[in-house]
Structure 1
Amino acid sequence: MTAKLANKVAIVTGAGRNIGEDVAKLLALEGAAVAVIDLDKGRADKVADDIIAAGGKAKGFVCDVGKEEDIIAAVKGIIAEWGHVDILVNNAAISDNKHMFDITTEEWNRTLAITLTGPFIFAKHAAKAMVEKGIAGAIVNVSSTSGYYGRDRAIGYTTAKGGIVNMTRSMAIQLAPHNIRVNSVVPNKIGSPVGRDTFNPDRKVVNLRNRHGLPADLAKAILFLVSDDSDFVAGTALWVDGGVSAIMPGSD
């Protein structure tokens, strides 16, 4: 059976652990050369080395997605390495976990820079690279159920993830003439919490699957959206939340 992403080049941000790591490894398993983007060089290199050891193609790239110069350098480095870009998965994010009275302006700005502005800038430069090479590309932005519902904390994070939702729609419209599809995924409590390494099996979850979401669950959904299997899917949000969004508030 032919690999779904044979000869493709994929960028995955925040790929040094958790969801990003699983996404990078699955895309590589399906034939893509993967640029493993992370702020931590050790994490990026380890994931890339794991992929190579399994017979795939990958390279780690250190990048602060809150800095445009880092993003530009990463995209140039990826093109120098593999010649083109076909896929971008905007996964990197941070959470403030703060009440609006407690968050500082600096914390607010940093949360939006990483979680909303970074995906915009990465998509901008990756899409330009796709257009220059005539690539029919695919971009997936990772949103969250927190982007659709209010919370009693994480005011910056919820704002940023809400922005991802409509940014995805506008990107889809603006990049459609260039044959680039843009979609988002909407996870809920998958793997370890944002910015943490440890998965807590005792973390309470309420959903229709009666289990915790796993990074592999989201990775498979993203694979669908970046492959030809979803050629007729554009500008939409794929909910990968175990059905939590279908439950009426107050339901047991």
Structure 2
Amino acid sequence: MEVSLRGKTCLITGATHGIGLTTAKLFSELGARVIGIGRNVPEVNKGVEFVKLDLTSRADVLSFIERYKREVGVIDVLINNASVNSRYSVLDITLEELDRMIELEVVSPILLSRMAAELMIKNKVKGKIINVSAIQAYKPLESSLAYSTVKGALISMSRSLAVDLGKYGIQVITVLPGPVYTKGEEVPEDLDRRAATLLRRMGRPQEVARLLAFLSSDLNTFITGSEIIIDGGRLISRRPDPDEITSGKV
């Protein structure tokens, strides 16, 4: 069985770098119409319709939603993937930083999920809403209060959405990546060797993208309200994380 997204309209946030960009490109290759949201639009837009949008601005998000409903009007898959690192403890985080993280990774996903659900119900589409969390929701790194908090919120949000939307045939899933290298095409060999996963290497964006493609496809018919971990066994590994990860450099 081959994964196909032909004929589907997919909206992906955080689609201009890392896992989001890799996912957007793969979805386009699999036949989807892909609308990618990000703060910086790539110069090469082949196969993906990129929209520049600051998801920390509630006014901008609401404006985008009205425009999307008016100009596109259909959605089969929403992937709330946008994320930024935030390395503060409870002792030094500012209210500005806390507000920024909540707007980006809680408020915006809720608003976009509401839009997606409304359009899916209106068009009788049994669609997919997928929220990309992180294993830090379960196992926080030091000085990652806001990041771990919002990633945990995405899990609870997905479960609540699944309860509300299941009667419409809409599936809601949370994906929790572990240590995935997104700083370049090639993972430094030394970092790969020291990765604290059971597989003794860092994850690659394309590995997460392939999982998201399956979950977004018609092959996925009975998963909802669930968390799917893709971390190479990091959560049950007793190996220590490399300094580059604990310090937030990668």
TM-score range, shorter chain: 0.7 to 0.9
Number of residues paired by the alignment?
Answer: 238
Q: What residue number does 2:123 align with?
A: 133
Q: Conserved in 1, the CA contact under 8 Å of 2:139 and 2:235? A: no
Separation in 2, partners of 1:200, 1:70: 35
Unaligned runs of 5+ in 2: 242-250
SS in 2 for 1:153: coil
* 2:244 counterpart residue number: none
- Is 2:87 the partner of 1:87? no
CA contact (8 A) 2:38 2:51 kept: yes
Moved more, 78-87 or 136-145: 78-87
CA-CA distance at 1:73 after TM superposition: 3.4
Give the Å deviation of 1:100: 1.6
Cα deviation code 1:5-27 (max 9, x no counterpart): 11110001000011000110111
Unaligned runs of 5+ in 1: 52-57
3-state SS in 1 of match to 2:176: strand
2:135 maps to 145
Give how far 1:71 is off: 2.7
Deviations 1:70-112 (A, max 9, x none): 3333344445554411100000012221122111111111112
Counterpart of 1:209 in structure 2 is: 199
Once residues 199 and 67 of structure 1 are traced to their aligned partners in structure 2, the CA distance between those partners, rounded to angstroms, is 33
Equivalent residue in structure 2 for 1:166, among 156, 159, 167: 156
- Residue 20 of structure 2 is matched in structure 1 by 20
SS of residue paired to 1:185: strand
Output aligned runs, 1:3-82, within 5 Å.
4-40=4-40, 42-43=41-42, 46=44, 49-51=45-47, 58-82=48-72
Identity of aligned residues (%): 29
How far apart are residue 198 of structure 1 and its match?
A: 9.0
RMSD: 2.3
CA deviation map 1:29-67 (0-9, x unaligned) = 111100011112x32x63xx232xxxxxx3111112223
Q: 2:246 corresponds to which residue?
A: none
Normalised TM-score (structure 2):
0.87
CA distance in 1, matches of 2:52, 2:228: 29
Paired letter, 2:82: A
Query: For residues 110 and 195 of structure 2, what CA distance do their matches in structure 1 show?
Result: 31
Q: 1:102 aligns with which of 69, 92, 107?
A: 92
Cα–Cα, structure 1 residues 73 and 129, in superposed 2: closer, same or farther, change >3 Å? Answer: farther
